[in-house]
Amino acid sequence: MTIKRTWWKEAVGYQIYPASFMDTNNDGIGDLNGIRSKLDYLKDLGIGFIWITPIYESPNVDNGYDISDYQQILKTFGTMEEFDLLLEEAHNLGIRVIMDLVINHTSNQHPWFIESRSSLKDDYRDYYIWADGTINGPPNDWVSIFGGSAWEYDETTNQYYLHVFAKEQPDLNWENPRVKRELFSMVDWWLDKGIDGFRVDAISHIKKAPLETSSTNDPFESFKNVPGIETHLEELREIFKKRDILTVGEANGVSADQAHQWVGETTGYFNMLFEFDHISLWNKEEHEILDVIHFKKMLTKWQNALADGRGWNALYMENHDIPRSVSSFGSEETVFWQASAKALALTFLLLQGTPFIYQGQEIGMTNMPFASIDDIDAVDTKNFYYEMIHSGVAPTKAMNVIRRTARDNARTPMQWTAEEYAGFSKRKPWMVINPNKQKINVLDELSEPDSVLNFYKQVIHLRNRNDALIYGSYKLYLADHPQLFVYGRRLGEERFVIIINLSKDFASADLPENVQIEEWDLELSNLNDQVIHQHTIFAPYEARVYKHK
């Protein structure tokens, strides 16, 4: 079987949230030199590329997602020379580097916006979306993803501007060709530097419905994958197409049925998408226990939608916007923590697509027991907390919700060691450190054979060595089993089957004919060797990978 080898299909990605990764100048904030100092660690893990979340000049209202200069490095992170060095050293190790591209909005401190708001006649006025108010106040009833109205009144010109996210993140006007030209030339500038691609932020929001449109079912539907967005995306594609790069779009609102259009091999806008079906990013409610059947269904829907060359998936269980997967979908309880972290690794790393590991996920980091709202930095979480308080929710109850849902759960500093500041910094960091650093840290896990870290390493290397786990087809077994996730991968004669118990209870199953374990070799298991594997009984969070003899 001939395979069209593609680097971004074969490589395993690793997402870095720089402020919380590694601090080298001991100001309590991670930096570019910190990333550089850990490249060997990433290489050893088997990582093929890193995605760095925004490191550009920014007032940091939304931690770098509010950019005030696209072509400068934020001083707390370092300098452009340090970035160039990072890029060079990563490339020397065979690690590619992709950057975050935030082009739905800028910071309100971006010179374009400062100009734009200065007068109705300003040359930059149409760089953003301005409208007159109504008797009810804002131009329409649209609400921001970060809470409250999506419109902010600006006194200077007595008009409102649109912001899908925080009010300090005004949305760019993609209907203005000048805006697109500026953005595209910036994109070219970064690519000329030799970076290897982009994670494209909030890209499904760049097209807005006519302002008269009132939201009906979904409060964000007027700016989520709105018809007409194709035109903008086709233009963006022309810029990307000229290079051999990885592009992954953050695509809230794009369904599996539409995915082919977005990532089809020849006509797609991106190589792959971060879909929102299996993980609900803006879900403010407390999570129930994992609905295994539903979870499998969602993942399988995307696997099938993009199978047979129709496209390619981006695989993830964590990122900087969602709580830690062990806490949401596995278990923090001492008896289950390690097995569940490993079980969750197998729920995504060996599916068809390019896996993205989020920093700390590979050591099984968990949610943070935030003491109070003062420990929280994320703007949306604060808004949401105060909304709850104003509507009469008791503070203790509100904090319980926050603890389970806050994005900051994923933003506590990376736990390198058990030391006071987790080996992340020599002084108190910008964000609280999880007290479980004693138990969960890179240094200890490197030397412990059964650690979550060593399991990740084994799975990544297994994937790196086996084409079937990269290019092979996907098949779901036992779709209706409420505890087990069983899937196969196949490329010609090379076959794997992965069996994962996603529950705290023993599970049993009659495996289908073609998955009779007698014919398979156990390649990997998250229980130690003393355990005799029963063919049809699975311990809590037990996970196994079999290869056909």
Min. distance of Cβ 78 from Ca ion in angstroms? 8
Angle at which helices 292-305 and 256-263 cross, to 10°: 30
Torsion, CA 442, CA 448, CA 453, CA 455, rounded to 10: 180
Say how far apart CA 208 and CA 172 lie, in whole Å.
Answer: 11
User: Taking CB under 6 A as the rule, does residue 275 contact ligand GLC?
Assistant: no
User: Taking CB under 6 A as the rule, does residue 102 contact ligand GLC?
Assistant: yes
Catalytically annotated residues: 201, 250
Residue 12's nearest CA partner among 455, 363, 359, 354 is: 354
62 binding partner (options ligand GLC, Ca ion, none; Cβ < 5 to 8 Å by kind): ligand GLC
Of residues 168 and 362, the one with the C-beta less far from ligand GLC = 168
Residue 349's nearest CA partner among 48, 90, 95, 93 is: 48
Min. distance of Cβ 377 from ligand GLC in angstroms? 12
321 binding partner (options Ca ion, ligand GLC, none; Cβ < 5 to 8 Å by kind): ligand GLC
19 binding partner (options ligand GLC, Ca ion, none; Cβ < 5 to 8 Å by kind): none
User: Taking CB under 6 A as the rule, does residue 165 contact ligand GLC?
Assistant: yes
Angle at which helices 395-405 and 379-390 cross, to 10°: 150
Q: Using CB under 6 A, pick the residue from 51, 65, 262, 416 that binds ligand GLC.
A: 65
Q: Using CB under 6 A, pick the residue from 318, 321, 408, 445 that binds ligand GLC.
A: 321
DSSP notation for 313-336: -EE-S--TTS--HHHHHS--SHHH
Min. distance of Cβ 412 from ligand GLC in angstroms? 16
Q: Which residues contact residue 340 at a Cβ distance below 8 angstroms, ignoring those fewer than 6 apart?
A: 326, 329, 330, 331, 541
Of residues 221 and 265, the one with the C-beta less far from ligand GLC = 221
Report DSSP state, residue 363.
Answer: G
Q: CB burial class (10 A; 0-12, 13-18, 19+) of residue 435?
A: exposed
User: Taking CB under 6 A as the rule, does residue 56 contact ligand GLC?
Assistant: no
Of residues 146 and 546, the one with the C-beta less far from ligand GLC = 146
User: Taking CB under 5 A as the rule, does residue 97 contact Ca ion?
Assistant: no
Q: Using CB under 6 A, pick the residue from 23, 62, 82, 318 that binds ligand GLC.
A: 62
Interacting positions 529-548 with ligand GLC (CB under 6 A): none
Of residues 65 and 128, the one with the C-beta less far from ligand GLC = 65
Of residues 35 and 322, the one with the C-beta less far from Ca ion = 35
Interacting positions 73-92 with ligand GLC (CB under 6 A): none
Say how far apart CA 130 and CA 142 lie, in whole Å.
Answer: 14
Say how far apart CA 22 and CA 443 lie, in whole Å.
Answer: 14
Min. distance of Cβ 481 from Ca ion in angstroms? 48
Report DSSP state, residue 479.
Answer: T
Q: Contact, 169 vs 148, CB < 8 A?
A: no
Angle at which helices 334-348 and 452-465 cross, to 10°: 20
29 binding partner (options Ca ion, ligand GLC, none; Cβ < 5 to 8 Å by kind): Ca ion
Interacting positions 21-50 with Ca ion (CB under 5 A): 23, 25, 27, 29, 31
User: Taking CB under 5 A as the rule, does residue 82 contact Ca ion?
Assistant: no
Say how far apart CA 367 and CA 382 lie, in whole Å.
Answer: 17
Of residues 168 and 445, the one with the C-beta less far from ligand GLC = 168
Min. distance of Cβ 171 from ligand GLC in angstroms? 10
For residue 27, count other CB atoms closer than 10 A to its CB.
14
Of residues 85 and 517, the one with the C-beta less far from Ca ion = 85
Say how far apart CA 155 and CA 493 lie, in whole Å.
Answer: 69
DSSP notation for 32-51: HHHHHHTHHHHHHHT--EEE
Say how far apart CA 483 and CA 489 lie, in whole Å.
Answer: 20
Interacting positions 421-460 with Ca ion (CB under 5 A): none
Of residues 62 and 377, the one with the C-beta less far from ligand GLC = 62
23 binding partner (options ligand GLC, Ca ion, none; Cβ < 5 to 8 Å by kind): Ca ion
Say how far apart CA 363 and CA 360 lie, in whole Å.
Answer: 5
Look at the block and give the residue holding tokens 């299909």: 9
102 binding partner (options Ca ion, ligand GLC, none; Cβ < 5 to 8 Å by kind): ligand GLC
202 binding partner (options ligand GLC, Ca ion, none; Cβ < 5 to 8 Å by kind): ligand GLC
Per DSSP, the three-state class of 379 is helix
Of residues 204 and 271, the one with the C-beta less far from ligand GLC = 204
Q: Contact, 369 vs 433, CB < 8 A?
A: no
User: Taking CB under 6 A as the rule, does residue 201 contact ligand GLC?
Assistant: yes
Which residue's CB atom is positioned nearest to ligand GLC?
65
Residues in binding contact with ligand GLC, number by CB under 6 A: 9
Binding residues (CB under 5 A) for Ca ion: these are 23, 25, 27, 29, 31
Footprint of ligand GLC (CB under 6 A) = 62, 65, 102, 165, 201-202, 250, 320-321
